[in-house]
Amino acid sequence: MPRNIKQYMPVAVLLLLMLMFYIHNLYPAFNNDDSPETITAAITLGIQHPPGYPLYTMAGKIFYSIFRLPAAFGQNLFAAILAITALLYFYLLFISIKGTGAFFKITALAGVAILGLSGPFFSQAISAKGGIYMLNLIFLALCLRSFFLSDAGAGEKEFNLLYFFSGLSMANHWQSAVLYAPLLMVFTAFKNLKSGEWKPFLKAVLFFFIGLTSYLYLLIRARSGAVMDNGAPAGIKQLFEHILRSDYSGEFAPLTWPVIFFQAREFYRAVPASLFMMWPLAAAGLVMPFFGKAPAKKTWLILTGIFILFSVSVILLFRRFQDSQCYYLPPLFLAGLTACGALSSLLAMKKRLITAVLAIFTALSAAGQGYFSSERFSGRDNYLSYDYAMNIMKTAPSGSVYFAASAFDIMPLYYFNFVSVYKPDFKDVNSTFLAFAWGIKQFAEKFPPVEMTPGKPGLNTINAVRALSRSFPCFCGFDNTAAAKTGLKYTQAGITLLTRPYAGPDNSGPFFDVFRLYSIRGVYNRFFLMDTDNFRMITNYSGAESNYGNCLLGAGLTGRAIEAYTRALELPYNGSKAGMIGNIFRAYKRAGIKDTRGVMLKQAK
């Protein structure tokens, strides 16, 4: 076997094992996040929510066109392959910094295992949307490699590659690259401009803009009838608004201490806690620049600076009370490098006791991370999002209109409408899009005219539901409080609300008996319930059963109402049992059952 191939066999075997581990834990369909939208965009060449992710969409389409795998599985697998590629570049970046000695290769392999099995990395490696963040890590590694080579005098080629990879990174997920990419570009530009020659710099800038050209995809597809056209960036102004997320300008809260503390906790969960027992080594590696020697001191100082820049910027800029661990993947990637740096320095001491302790320490850390990640984040049996949308699709008959209220009901419907085409004449309306002129325009292209005003999504939704209920069975994903504002009467139909004109004045219309939860796979899984978004989705089931019981009780069907209330108690629920038990009290009282207290105690167990 040639020497240059043989030396990469250990990392190749490790990465193959990691890929098998990821495949074993892939989502069978899609995660309860933006993954259904990501899958749909790749398969149909659609446009995702701002900033659009055009580069990843085209890459996903190419992967699908070559391998022709089932849509959801294929895009999840694509994310896993990108994760393996990111780990490979992690390995190559580290040995390019430290050298190809045995100690450095061993520590690089340890870093690959620790990073690849960490919770935030693992959770994104098995889900289609996570592929966007994996691609971002690949570009981060490529930018750092080109920067270090260019800084060491490698020549114009690496200078151009740095700018090109920076442009690609900005075109993939500019929110993550907007800080480190310009910083690296400015450092190299100053060094190259000292000679007084502008041509190499201008050429590098050209490569940067070439990297950004994938954004033209949004303009082209918006003008060519993409079936999923979020944001409709068909003009130059609309294109820039889409890229810069102008429609999301109000998504962040003011910078307050509670917000800072929440994001600081997210940082702790994403980096120190995720590195498990390796965090002390990572922390030691972060302070190495202040005690090392040149030229290594400069390299590690840059890595430490970018780590701090990433961490502080996400804490200060991502001002939401929302899980944001995916945004901390670059700091986690860099912390993995610094942990390897500290580990290699300790191994270089060639003390048997230290080597043995570190070997046990690293093995336990990797094993602990792998076990925790596979238990906590595995998508192996997670059909929650798929089943939630399927419950909606099976409840609503052909020709229906569904008004979605949130991402976790509209995102999977994209998949069912545009990829699997489950019901060709089923139409959905994203209520939040009715706040924007482009969303109102798209609505007008599918439905009869309805009076709407940009900036008033609530009022526009009310007007739309009122108007369409005269002609279509209208199902709604919002709650009873929001539904009451339409002035229409509703009945519970599965996990949706059905407008009264089609339900009948006494709740006994043609769709009254359609209520059924067609699938509730995984709703009792304690790890699924630990996720905030999953918990909100799952508890909608018990709320729907309880509301259905109210409808039955109002129609005089007491026995069936008791059955519905009982099912609600058996499902995971949000809040106190008192309200649900009170419902059963009322039903038993109406049924004339005297031993209510005894029955209630039994039901409450």
Res. 597: pLDDT tops 70: no
What stretch of H or E contains 545? helix 532-554
Q: How many CB atoms are located within 10 Å of the residue 345 CB? A: 17
Q: Which two tokens stand for residue 106?
A: 């061993």
Q: Do 266 and 321 meet the contact criterion of CB atoms below 8 Å apart?
A: no
Three-state SS for 435-473 is HCHHHHHHHHHHCCCCCCCCCCHHHHHHHHHHHHCCCCC
Who contacts 478 (Cβ-Cβ below 8 Å, separation ≥6)?
403, 405, 431, 497
**First CA to last CA across the chain, in angstroms?**
66
Res. 420: pLDDT tops 80: yes
Res. 127: pLDDT tops 80: yes
The answer to whether the pTM exceeds 0.85 is yes
- Polymer length of the chain: 605
Cross-strand bridge partners of residue 46: none
Provide the pLDDT confidence category of residue 505 given band limits of 50, 70 and 90: very low
Q: Do 337 and 90 meet the contact criterion of CB atoms below 8 Å apart?
A: yes
Q: Do 160 and 149 meet the contact criterion of CB atoms below 8 Å apart?
A: no
Q: Do 332 and 271 meet the contact criterion of CB atoms below 8 Å apart?
A: yes
Q: What is the largest CA-CA distance in the chain?
A: 95
Three-state SS for 547-580 is HHHHHHHHCCCHHHHHHHHHHHHHCCCCCCCHHH
DSSP 229: B
Can you give the C-alpha Rg of the chain in angstroms?
A: 27
pLDDT in tens, 508-542: 554 455 566 788 899 999 999 988 889 989 999 98
pLDDT in tens, 283-314: 888 877 666 554 567 788 888 888 888 888 77
Res. 480: pLDDT tops 50: yes
**How far is Cα 299 from Cα 91, in angstroms, rounded to an integer?**
16
Cross-strand bridge partners of residue 403: 429, 476
Who contacts 397 (Cβ-Cβ below 8 Å, separation ≥6)?
473, 511, 514
Q: Do 172 and 55 meet the contact criterion of CB atoms below 8 Å apart?
A: yes
Strands (E), 366-510: 401-404, 427-430, 474-476, 490-493, 496-499
Tell me the torsion sign for CA atoms 367, 334, 153, 295: negative
- pLDDT recorded at residue 510: 46
Q: State mean pLDDT over 497-513.
A: 57
Who contacts 581 (Cβ-Cβ below 8 Å, separation ≥6)?
569, 600, 603, 604
Which candidate, 304, 333, 310, 302, places its Cα nearest to that of 263? Answer: 310
Mean pLDDT of all residues belonging to the chain: 86
- pLDDT recorded at residue 511: 47
- pLDDT recorded at residue 196: 67
**How far is Cα 123 from Cα 325, in angstroms, rounded to an integer?**
10
Res. 118: pLDDT tops 50: yes
Q: Which two tokens stand for residue 542?
A: 């018990």
**How far is Cα 88 from Cα 93, in angstroms, rounded to an integer?**
9
Res. 227: pLDDT tops 80: yes
What stretch of H or E contains 422? none
3-state secondary structure of 231: coil
Q: Which two tokens stand for residue 493?
A: 């139909």
Q: State mean pLDDT over 111-126.
A: 94
- pLDDT recorded at residue 1: 39
Which candidate, 361, 325, 326, places its Cα nearest to that of 343? Answer: 361
| C-alpha 277: how far from chain center | 26
Provide the pLDDT confidence category of residue 228 given band limits of 50, 70 and 90: very high
**How far is Cα 418 from Cα 415, in angstroms, rounded to an integer?**
6
Which candidate, 217, 223, 249, places its Cα nearest to that of 41? Answer: 217
Q: State mean pLDDT over 537-552.
A: 87
Which candidate, 201, 118, 188, 189, places its Cα nearest to that of 149? Answer: 188
pLDDT in tens, 35-72: 999 999 999 999 999 999 999 999 999 999 999 999 99
Provide the pLDDT confidence category of residue 570 given band limits of 50, 70 and 90: confident
Q: Which two tokens stand for residue 172?
A: 């993939």
Of 504 and 201, the structure prediction assigns the larger pLDDT to 201
H-type alpha helices, 271-351: 272-275, 279-287, 296-317, 329-347
Q: Which two tokens stand for residue 180?
A: 């480190």
pLDDT in tens, 198-214: 788 889 899 999 999 99
pLDDT in tens, 340-354: 888 888 877 777 787
Res. 502: pLDDT tops 60: no
Res. 3: pLDDT tops 50: yes
Q: Which of 1-5, 217-221, 477-481 is predicted least confidently?
A: 1-5
Task: Write the DSSP string, 340-360.
Answer: HHHHHHHHTT--HHHHHHHHH
Which candidate, 395, 406, 343, 416, places its Cα nearest to that of 502? Answer: 395
Q: Which two tokens stand for residue 358?
A: 């570190």
